[in-house]
């Protein structure tokens, strides 16, 4: 069986509190995501890709994802 998937780029609006107590809101763009169709919904794949990226690349006390959007990558674009 051939896996059916879509490569996406995710943009995320985040509010984050750093260990120093400073709270910032900002956008993180171009987070890569592979949505495997039979494993989960597209929303779930995008959300988990965003959470994984944030937890692997930022040091924070807490954060919340305010919104996110994803766009398929066209072949040869990335």
Q: How confident is the model at residue 3 (pLDDT cuts 50, 70, 90)?
A: confident
Q: Which residue has the tokens 């794949």?
A: 45
Query: With a threshold of 0.95, does the pTM exceed it?
Result: no
> Where are the domains positioned within the chain?
5-72
Each residue of 21-38: pLDDT tens digit? 999 999 999 999 999 999
- For position 12, what pLDDT does the model report? 98
Buried b (16+ CB within 10 A) or exposed e, 20-47: eeeeeeeebeebebebeeeeeeeeebbb
Q: Could you report the per-residue pLDDT of 29-69, keeping only the tens digit for each?
A: 999 999 999 999 999 999 999 999 999 999 999 999 999 99
């Amino acid at each position: 069986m051939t896996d059916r998937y879509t490569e996406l780029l995710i943009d995320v609006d985040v509010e984050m509190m750093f260990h120093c107590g400073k709270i910032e809101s900002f956008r993180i763009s171009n987070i890569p995501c592979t949505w495997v169709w039979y494993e989960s919904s597209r929303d779930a794949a995008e959300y988990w890709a965003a959470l994984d990226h944030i937890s692997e690349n930022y040091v924070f006390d807490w954060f919340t994802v305010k919104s996110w959007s994803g766009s398929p990558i066209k072949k040869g674009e990335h």
